[in-house]
């Protein structure tokens, strides 16, 4: 009989992941009055006329082939057909109030950012150079068109004219784009894709204080041909030359602002080019933006946007039910509490997020077979500790020490009952997932790598073989939201059944993240990820040279990913990545848990805008400038 480790399991019928389901509900009751939320700034007066309703369209499933990132023929990419702008007819009005469990500090300059602020900056204050559409194709943004030569190396990008920085810092030009990429690609940059920028663009520079950029790297592979044209030579073909530019992490900042006020002030009062201009941030309370009228791309229909920091789930839900929030980020088990509120629509993004378990401290690039460490490894991975049961002092997969650590990690993985977690804790909005970022591409893996077995008895046997018959202790850190704390608690109970005591550490992400970036954390971490192409995530998450890492790197993975990055043919690239996936799975370095739908609740003041989301990042509610304003 299948065992359940939950004290009070809430078993629900399993529902497979839909592509995207947008459910409009117009019945029910408002519910109880909420507890007090942090005070938000006063909203401006609203006008009476109602905006036209935007049509909601289903979201297409990700393609099993290209994500639109690979090099193509040397033809220009045309700008998309302009959408009717209803806000232009009546102007922005009212406030879009978004309730979230965590509003990160607004301290967003790439080299000094705290927490995930720079990431959110890429779809609020700043813009990306390109955008990933709902059919997972790369479409124009600040780059309005581009072409690539037959050598798949020489790219020409045309910049949108008239894209103005906020706060009077002038128009974005080609030199400004190159400078912005240099800062994000710097060695001290905390942007998770900094190594990707250096690999593709060949530029880097650091600025940690004041106004001076230091440690400048320029390989001479990128230049401004004129005010709006950039020529880039990637050195060798790179599969992600375009897709990298769609990630919100890689957004455009102002050189003029840095030179005017310095890095700290620029970071706390960022000037971007997006349809939202930053206005105010109060720590652990709210962040506020104002709509940019006559924006080159889209003027929001709401006059301002406020992200409200409401950590307590019940308080956040109660505020939504009583009409104080326009949009709500919620745990999956809160769907039942909000779906019957009059006017509510559920904005679902299929497979919008996935959760994995990484065993941190497994950093092997720079570790020698005799256990000695290169100076670079000592500096880069101060948290490396080969005495931990899940970590090896020998990077050779054939060594006994490595195989014992792999047995420990495998034992921890197969002790997790993924199906019960999906059924009982995730409201039927999730399915088990074997490997990080592979949920849309399991057909490209051998059958034996498409799922983990659930076998606690075998777990105990593996632990005994590895020298831990009585188990050990491990710290387990979850993310907040989407029932992650409940899932972490369930995993801790499952591990307890095999003799492993998991000490749960619940920390705000802004507090925890520095230990990841600095590579001092060496325990277990339940993290989220999203990727259309597995290599998009793996080349950062398991790369020894990136700012943000999933706690794992190894020469085998490094070499396979470097080969894959230079392979623009989709079938050939996936064959290489399948080899990397086998190595990851066989050694249980980072294991998948589940893929889930992302579900947000919207009030009757707006409705879903799936056709405008940035599908390079589906864990968040992006493109908020396209939120229809349905207020009367």
Q: How far is CA 233 from the centre of its chain?
A: 28
Structural domain range at position 263:
22-28+57-63+93-344+603-626
Whether 238 is covered by a domain: the verdict is yes
Whether 379 is covered by a domain: the verdict is yes
- Residue 54's pLDDT is what? 33
**Whole-angstrom distance, CA of residue 421 vs CA of residue 600:** 21
Rg of the Cα trace of the chain? Answer: 24
- Residue 26's pLDDT is what? 39
- 491 and 621 fall within a common domain: no
- Residue 513's pLDDT is what? 84
- 397 and 335 fall within a common domain: no
**Whole-angstrom distance, CA of residue 602 vs CA of residue 31:** 16
- Residue 419's pLDDT is what? 96
CB-based contact 68:243 (threshold 8 Å): yes
- 328 and 219 fall within a common domain: yes
For residue 214, the cross-strand partners are 206
Residue 174: name the closest of 205, 146, 213, 153 by CA: 146
Count the alpha carbons within 13 Å of 98 in the hemisphere toward its beta carbon. 20
- Residue 542's pLDDT is what? 94
The parts of the chain modelled with pLDDT lower than 50 are 1-36, 42-83, 86-88
The single residue listed with the structure tokens 């999203």 is: 530
- Residue 531's pLDDT is what? 72
CB-based contact 156:150 (threshold 8 Å): no
Instruction: Tell me the CA distances in angstroms from 394 to 349, 361, 405, one per residue in order.
Output: 42, 13, 10
**Whole-angstrom distance, CA of residue 204 vs CA of residue 202:** 7
CB-based contact 321:310 (threshold 8 Å): no
Rounded to the nearest 10°, the torsion over CA 51, 293, 305, 277 is 170
- 149 and 238 fall within a common domain: yes
φ and ψ at residue 111, rounded to 5 degrees: -90, -10
**Whole-angstrom distance, CA of residue 353 vs CA of residue 280:** 29
DSSP 317-369: HHHHHTT--SEEE--GGGHHHHTTSTT-EEEEEEEEEEEEEEETTEE-TTB-T
Whether 99 is covered by a domain: the verdict is yes
- 409 and 448 fall within a common domain: yes
- 147 and 283 fall within a common domain: yes
- 372 and 298 fall within a common domain: no
- 298 and 433 fall within a common domain: no
CB-based contact 74:115 (threshold 8 Å): no
DSSP 190-205: --TTHHHHHHHH-EEE
Residue 335: name the closest of 5, 7, 36, 12 by CA: 12
Q: Do you know the residue count of the chain?
A: 632
- Residue 378's pLDDT is what? 97
**Whole-angstrom distance, CA of residue 617 vs CA of residue 136:** 11
- 311 and 448 fall within a common domain: no
- Residue 39's pLDDT is what? 53
CB-neighbour burial class of residue 622 (10 A; exposed 0-12, middle 13-18, buried 19+): buried
- Give the number of domains in the chain: 2
- Residue 116's pLDDT is what? 72
Whether 310 is covered by a domain: the verdict is yes
We report the CATH number of the domain holding residue 233 as 3.40.190.10
- 215 and 315 fall within a common domain: yes
- Cβ partners under 8 Å of residue 111, min gap 6: 183, 186, 188, 189, 190, 206, 207, 208, 263
Whether 473 is covered by a domain: the verdict is yes
pLDDT, tens only, 113-161: 876 778 899 999 999 999 999 999 999 999 999 999 999 999 999 999 9
- Residue 466's pLDDT is what? 98
For residue 229, the cross-strand partners are 158, 226
Whether 242 is covered by a domain: the verdict is yes
- Residue 10's pLDDT is what? 33
- 220 and 102 fall within a common domain: yes
**Whole-angstrom distance, CA of residue 219 vs CA of residue 204:** 9
Count the alpha carbons within 13 Å of 570 in the hemisphere toward its beta carbon. 13
- 128 and 210 fall within a common domain: yes
The single residue listed with the structure tokens 């849309």 is: 440
Which two three-digit tokens encode residue 574?
């996936």
We report the CATH number of the domain holding residue 490 as 3.10.105.10
Whether 568 is covered by a domain: the verdict is no
Residue 456: name the closest of 150, 2, 87 by CA: 2
The single residue listed with the structure tokens 């190594």 is: 195
Instruction: State how beta strands 304-309 and 276-282 pair.
Output: unpaired
DSSP 268-288: HS----SSEEEEEEETTTEEE
């Amino acid at each position: 009989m299948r065992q359940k480790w939950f004290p009070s399991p809430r078993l629900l019928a399993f529902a497979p992941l839909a592509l995207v389901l947008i459910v409009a509900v117009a019945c029910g009751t408002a519910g109880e009055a909420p507890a007090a939320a942090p005070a938000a700034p006063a909203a401006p007066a609203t006008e009476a006329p109602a905006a036209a309703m935007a049509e909601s369209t289903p979201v297409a499933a990700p393609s099993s082939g290209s994500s639109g990132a690979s090099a193509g023929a040397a033809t220009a990419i045309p700008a998309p057909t302009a959408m009717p702008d209803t806000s232009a007819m009546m102007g922005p009005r009212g406030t879009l109030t978004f309730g979230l469990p965590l509003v990160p500090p607004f301290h967003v300059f790439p080299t000094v950012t705290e927490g995930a602020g720079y990431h959110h900056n890429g779809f609020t204050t700043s813009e990306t150079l390109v955008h990933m559409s709902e059919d997972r194709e790369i479409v124009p943004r600040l780059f309005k068109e581009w072409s690539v030569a037959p050598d798949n190396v020489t790219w020409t990008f045309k910049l949108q004219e008239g894209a103005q920085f906020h706060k009077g810092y002038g128009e974005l030009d080609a030199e400004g784009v190159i400078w912005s990429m240099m800062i994000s690609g710097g060695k001290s940059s905390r942007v998770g894709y900094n190594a990707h920028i250096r690999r593709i663009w060949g530029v880097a520079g650091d600025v940690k204080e004041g106004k001076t950029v230091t440690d400048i790297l320029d390989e001479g592979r990128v230049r401004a041909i004129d005010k709006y044209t950039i020529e880039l030579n990637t050195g060798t073909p790179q599969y992600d030359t375009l897709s990298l530019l769609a990630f919100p992490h890689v957004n455009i900042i102002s050189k003029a602002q840095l030179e005017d006020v310095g890095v700290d002030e620029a970071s706390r009062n960022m000037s971007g080019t997006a349809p939202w201009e930053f206005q105010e941030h109060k720590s652990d309370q709210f962040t506020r933006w104002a709509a940019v009228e006559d924006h080159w791309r889209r003027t929001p229909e709401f006059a301002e946007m406020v992200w409200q920091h409401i950590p307590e789930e019940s308080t956040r839900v109660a505020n939504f039910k009583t009409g104080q929030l326009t949009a709500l980020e919620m745990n999956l088990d809160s769907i039942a509490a909000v779906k019957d509120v009059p006017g509510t629509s559920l904005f679902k993004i299929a497979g919008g997020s996935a959760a994995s378990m990484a065993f941190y401290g497994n950093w092997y690039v720079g570790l020698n077979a005799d256990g000695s460490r290169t100076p670079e490894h000592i500096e880069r991975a101060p948290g490396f500790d080969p005495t931990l049961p899940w970590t090896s002092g020998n990077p050779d997969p054939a060594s006994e020490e490595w195989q014992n650590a792999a047995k420990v990690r495998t034992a921890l993985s197969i002790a997790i009952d993924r199906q019960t977690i999906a059924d009982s804790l995730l409201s039927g909005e999730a399915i088990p997932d074997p490997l990080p970022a592979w949920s849309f591409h399991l057909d490209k893996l051998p059958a034996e790598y498409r799922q983990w077995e659930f076998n606690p008895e075998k777990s105990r046997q593996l632990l005994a073989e590895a020298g831990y018959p009585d188990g050990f202790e491990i710290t387990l850190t979850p993310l907040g939201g989407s029932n992650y704390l409940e899932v972490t608690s369930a995993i801790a109970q499952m591990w307890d059944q095999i003799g492993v005591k998991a000490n749960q550490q619940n920390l705000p992400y802004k507090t925890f993240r520095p230990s990841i970036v600095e590579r001092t954390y060496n325990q277990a971490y339940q993290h989220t990820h999203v990727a259309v192409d597995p290599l998009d995530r793996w080349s950062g998450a398991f790369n020894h040279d990136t700012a943000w890492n999933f706690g794992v790197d190894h020469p085998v993975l490094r070499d396979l990913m470097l080969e894959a990055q230079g392979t623009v043919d989709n079938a050939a690239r996936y064959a290489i990545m399948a080899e990397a996936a086998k190595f990851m799975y066989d050694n249980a370095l980072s294991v998948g848990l589940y893929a889930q739908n992302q579900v947000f609740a919207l009030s009757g003041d707006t409705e879903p805008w799936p056709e405008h989301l940035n599908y390079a990042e589906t864990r968040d509610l992006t493109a908020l400038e396209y939120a229809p304003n349905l207020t009367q």
